[in-house]
Amino acid sequence: MSGENEEQLSYSDAIKKASPSITRFPVIPVRGVPLMSYIAQNWDSIWAFRPDPSDLLIATYPKAGTTWTQEIVDLLYHNGDAEACRRAPTPVRSPFLEIFSPAPIPSGLDLLEKMDPPRVIKTHLPFQLVPPGFWENKCKAIYVARNAKDNLVSYYHFDCMNQTQPEPGPWEGYIHKFMRGELSWGSWYDHVKGYWVEREKRNILYLFYEDMKENPRREVERIMRYLDLSVSDEVLSRIVQLTSFKNMKENPMANYSFIPEPVFCQSISPFMRKGEVGDWNNHFTPEQSEMFDEDYEKQMKDIKIPFRCQI
Ligand code: PPS
């Protein structure tokens, strides 16, 4: 058995072993931002994390295109070598900085400690909660933002299937929780604005999910240039193909099938659900859409970010 398979088995097995203690964890505010209780209880060690200057941060509000970007970056670092990028599941290749779960599931910090830099680190933390070491060490960071309505729809389906997240409740009420910033990781509005205002000062590459859908090759090239990498045209085409929604949905190292059923119920909603722009049209009633847009104008009036709800 190869080391990679052992790693995959041990990660899935750890989750299986922990599954009796997995439940819909409550959220606890950390500096006003609701975070999963396990994260809140371990906050000091997360805040103290010191990255290496060569580490890359991929930051997103949940469900904005994190996994997609993690896969693109891993393929760029491995010159489009699909086999190399199937060495382990996404969260083992590219650990989730702040995640803490019941034993024996390794925390993000446990996984990071065992890896040599340069590491690709995922976070959903809003800008103000990112450990300051990232900025002190001038780490590169990619932020991916997705339009609020599609982001909300995707998060709703995820909260239905992910048994570690708070109960989503009915759709209508969920919209209001989103608008009030009560979901895990807090307000979408503050999140997208927080990174937007800091993007130039901190050299953050700010991407949009909609741009990635519209022209994935252009966006992969932007990521490549930002990372000071250079791959051939052929490799670029291969990366675009390997990271299509269809191919990632079928990739067991990227589609979260390595998180067993009691924890992620993909029979309720697959992790790779639709991967589209504009699916919100199938969920919002005209009244809900109008009410949401009115509130959106208020919450976003101070900072204009060019989101697109349709491409
Ligand atoms: S998480 O749990 O926060 O890390 O989730 P995240 O990866 O950020 O977001 C999941 C949504 O991204 C979609 N996705 C993709 N869309 C297009 N192309 C590719 N390759 C791709 N990979 C993931 C995924 O389907 C989720 O969106 P929805 O709208 O629910 O389908």
Is residue 202 assigned to a domain?
Answer: yes
CATH number for the domain spanning 47: value is 3.40.50.300
Q: Quick one: what percent of the chain has pLDDT higher than 90?
A: 93
Active site members: 124
Q: Report the nearest-CA residue for atom 4 of ligand 1.
A: 66
Q: How far is the CA of 16 from the centre of ligand 1 (A)?
A: 24
Are the C-beta atoms of residues 108 and 42 closer than 8 Å to each other? no
Bridge partners of 165?
Answer: none
Task: Report the alpha-carbon distance of residue 179 to residue 174 in Å, rounded.
Answer: 9
The predicted model gives 85-108 an average pLDDT of 96
Does the structure show a pLDDT above 90 at 6?
no
Residue 25: its pLDDT value, please? 94
Task: Report the alpha-carbon distance of residue 287 to residue 103 in Å, rounded.
Answer: 45
pLDDT 10s digits, 218-258: 999 999 999 999 999 999 999 999 999 999 999 999 999 99
Q: Which atom of ligand 1 is nearest to the CA of 157?
A: 30
pLDDT 10s digits, 7-28: 555 889 999 999 898 999 999 9
Q: Which atom of ligand 1 is nearest to the CA of 249?
A: 22
Pocket test for ligand 1, best of 243, 272, 284 (most atoms within 8 A of CB): 272
Is residue 156 assigned to a domain?
Answer: yes
Q: Which atom of ligand 1 is nearest to the CA of 62?
A: 3
Is residue 22 assigned to a domain?
Answer: no
Bridge partners of 28?
Answer: 35
On whether the pTM is more than 0.75, the answer is: yes
How many domains does the chain fold into? 1
Is residue 21 assigned to a domain?
Answer: no
Is residue 9 assigned to a domain?
Answer: no
Is residue 189 assigned to a domain?
Answer: yes
Domain span including residue 182: 27-299
Residue 265, CB-side half-sphere exposure with 13 Å CA sphere: 14
Is residue 304 assigned to a domain?
Answer: no
Is residue 160 assigned to a domain?
Answer: yes
Q: In 3D, which of 191, 210, 196, 225 has the Cα closest to residue 76?
A: 225
